[in-house]
Amino acid sequence: MSTQDTPSPRPGRPSTMRDPRRTICDAAAALFAAKGYDATSLQDVASAVGVTKAGLYHYFATKQDLFDTIVLAVLSDMLDWARARVDVAARPADQVAAFMAGHAAYFAANRDHYRAAFIGRGGDLYVFTPEQMAARRAYTDFLTRILEEGRAAGDFAFEDAPLVARGILGMLNWMTRWYNPTGRKGAEEIAADYASIVLKGIATD
């Protein structure tokens, strides 16, 4: 949470915050990640930021709106990280490893937002907005395309590229459930271990 940007937040005066939408999202993400969406109220978020609920409404009409914003930002940011880290001219195996390292690095650097988006809501009734759906698909497709490119180049062998992509993402996303940021291995190291297993597992030779 970047509430340190707001030394003396005045109730009902969110305009004193620097980048107020960002500050609100940071605070909300921490709450959604820990308590879950249903158990978090807009009042909790307002209190965490140091504004009134009325001040919060100025930026987000509903809790759903706030949650949707966080999920979309995570999905879009993850694609940006992948694009920034994956050299599409490199060998497909190196691209897969870079993609996985980027995913883990994003997770480690944005833990609250990531956990809010991936485990913030209990149950499976949450329906992605069309924008979120497009962002999620673009991210999965980015990995699937690398896998297919590697298969076309004769480097990889598997039947179902989207299934392999989901398996890779599962290994990484499940880290939300057990990863300890103060543990022996960092998130990128773990991703590298998984990448070496998967890459050997799908290699042609």
Question: What is the biggest distance separating any 2 CA atoms in the chain, rounded to whole angstroms?
Answer: 64
Q: Does 190 bind its own copies (CB under 8 A)?
A: yes
Q: How far is CA 188 from CA 16, 82, 110, 141, in A?
A: 37, 13, 13, 21
Q: What is the DSSP letter of 18?
A: S
Query: In 10 A of CB 45, how many CB atoms?
Result: 23
Instruction: Report residue 126 as tokens.
Output: 């949450």
In whole angstroms, the minimum distance from the beta carbon of 73 to its own copies comes to: 18
- Does the protein bind its own copies through residue 11 (CB under 8 A)? no
The Cα–Cα gap between 176 and 30 comes to 14
Residue in the structure block whose two tokens are 């990448």: 195
Of 8-16, 93-101, 147-155, 197-205: span binding its own copies (CB under 8 A): 197-205
| Closest approach of its own copies to the CB of residue 162, in Å | 10
Stretch that binds its own copies, among 26-34, 57-65, 68-76, 81-89 (CB under 8 A): 26-34
List the x/- string, 66-105, binding to its own copies by CB under 8 A.
Answer: ----------------------------------------
Q: Which residues are near its own copies by CB under 8 A?
A: 32-40, 115, 119-125, 158-160, 163-164, 166-167, 169-178, 185, 190, 193-194, 196-203
